[in-house]
C-alpha cells in the first residue's frame, strides 16, 4: 500500500475511519487493501464485493468529502496512475466479458474525449499555438506508446511549419538531434503513465537551453507538466495494458488544425504544389475513367 501522504484520498480515509459506519469501514478496508482494483469498478460492483448496498458506497463517498462516487473513483485512479504495471492492467480487466469488449473500449475512449473537452485549458492551448507559430524550430519527443502520436504530429506539422524535427530516441545519443536547440525554439514532449524517463530527460535538456516546452500529457501533476511552459492535458485512462490514445490524438488533431488555420495561405499553396507532385508520381491509387 502507498504511503498515506502520497494521496489525499488515503489521508481522508485515515482521518475519517473512526467516525465511519460498520459498512463504510468495510469499504475503507477494501479500498486500502485493493486500491488498484477499486479504482476501476462501479459503485454497485464494489458494494457486491464488500457486501453492502450501492447506496452505502455512495454515502461513503460523501462521508469522505467527495461530491459522489465518480469523484472518489477519480481520486483512486490518480493514486495508481503511475504505479500499475502491464501485468496489473491485464488483471484489472480480466473479468471483462468478450461480448462486452468492443462497446466497453469505445465507450471508455468516448469518456476520455468528453473529460478532455470538459477540462482542457483553452488559454494554454492558444498559448501553445502562438509558441509554435513563432518558433524557429519545433522539436517533438515521444517514445514507446507515445511514439505514434509524435510521428503523427510531426508528419502533419511539417505541412504547416518549416522546421519540425522528430527527436530520434532510438539512436545511442538522442541529444544529437537536439544539439542546436535554443531559446528561439519549442520542444513538445508527449508521455502518459507510466512516464518515459527518456522523454523527461530530453525536455529537461531543452529547458536548460532556454527552449519553450509544451507538454501533452494526462495530468497537471505529471512530471512533463511540471517542466512545461504550456501543459495540454488529455485523459488516457486505460481499459487494459494498452494505453487509450483517443483523447491525446484528438488534442493533437486540434493542434494541427489550429496552426494550419493561422497559416491558411501558405498551407493552401504547399498542398497545391504537392497535389501536382503526387499526381505525377502516382502516389495514390485512383480509379481509371469509366471504371
Per-residue pLDDT in tens (0 to 9) along the chain, 291 residues: 444 334 567 677 877 888 899 999 899 888 877 777 788 788 999 999 999 999 999 999 999 989 999 988 888 877 666 555 555 555 555 555 666 778 878 888 898 899 899 889 999 999 999 999 999 999 999 988 899 999 999 999 999 998 999 997 765 567 788 899 999 999 999 998 878 889 999 999 999 999 999 999 988 878 899 899 999 999 887 655 567 899 999 999 999 999 999 999 998 888 888 888 888 888 888 776 444
In the chain, the domains with their CATH numbers are 4-80 (1.10.10.10), 116-280 (3.40.50.10490)
Q: 52-87: buried (b, 16+ CB within 10 Å) or exposed (e) per residue? A: beeebbbbbbebbebeebeebbebbbbbbbeebeee
Amino acid at each position: 500500500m502507498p504511503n498515506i501522504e502520497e494521496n489525499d484520498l488515503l489521508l481522508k480515509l485515515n482521518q475519517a475511519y473512526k467516525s465511519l459506519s460498520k459498512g463504510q469501514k468495510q469499504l475503507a478496508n477494501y479500498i486500502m487493501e485493493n486500491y488498484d482494483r477499486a479504482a476501476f469498478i462501479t459503485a454497485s460492483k464494489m458494494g457486491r464485493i464488500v457486501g453492502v448496498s450501492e447506496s452505502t458506497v455512495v454515502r461513503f463517498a460523501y462521508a469522505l468529502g467527495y461530491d459522489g462516487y465518480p469523484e472518489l473513483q477519480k481520486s483512486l485512479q490518480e493514486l495508481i496512475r503511475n504505479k500499475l504495471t502491464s501485468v496489473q492492467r491485464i488483471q484489472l480487466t480480466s473479468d471483462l466479458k468478450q461480448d462486452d469488449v468492443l462497446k466497453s473500449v469505445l465507450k471508455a475512449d468516448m469518456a476520455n474525449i468528453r473529460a478532455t473537452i470538459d477540462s482542457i485549458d483553452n488559454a494554454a492551448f492558444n498559448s501553445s499555438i502562438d509558441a509554435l507559430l513563432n518558433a524557429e524550430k519545433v522539436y517533438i519527443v515521444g517514445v514507446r506508446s507515445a511514439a505514434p502520436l509524435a510521428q503523427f504530429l510531426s508528419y502533419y506539422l511539417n505541412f504547416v511549419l518549416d522546421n519540425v524535427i522528430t527527436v530520434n530516441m532510438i539512436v545511442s545519443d538522442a541529444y544529437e538531434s537536439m544539439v542546436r536547440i535554443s531559446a528561439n525554439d519549442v520542444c513538445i514532449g508527449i508521455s502518459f503513465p507510466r512516464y518515459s524517463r527518456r522523454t523527461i530527460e530530453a525536455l529537461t535538456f531543452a529547458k536548460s537551453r532556454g527552449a519553450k516546452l509544451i507538454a501533452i500529457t494526462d495530468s497537471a501533476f505529471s512530471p512533463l507538466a511540471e517542466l512545461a511552459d504550456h501543459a495540454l492535458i488529455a485523459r488516457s485512462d486505460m481499459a487494459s495494458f494498452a494505453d487509450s490514445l483517443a483523447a491525446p490524438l484528438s488534442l493533437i488533431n486540434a493542434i494541427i488544425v489550429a496552426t494550419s488555420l493561422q497559416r491558411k495561405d501558405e498551407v493552401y499553396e504547399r498542398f497545391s504544389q504537392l497535389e501536382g507532385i503526387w499526381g505525377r508520381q502516382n502516389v495514390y491509387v485512383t480509379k481509371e475513367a469509366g471504371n
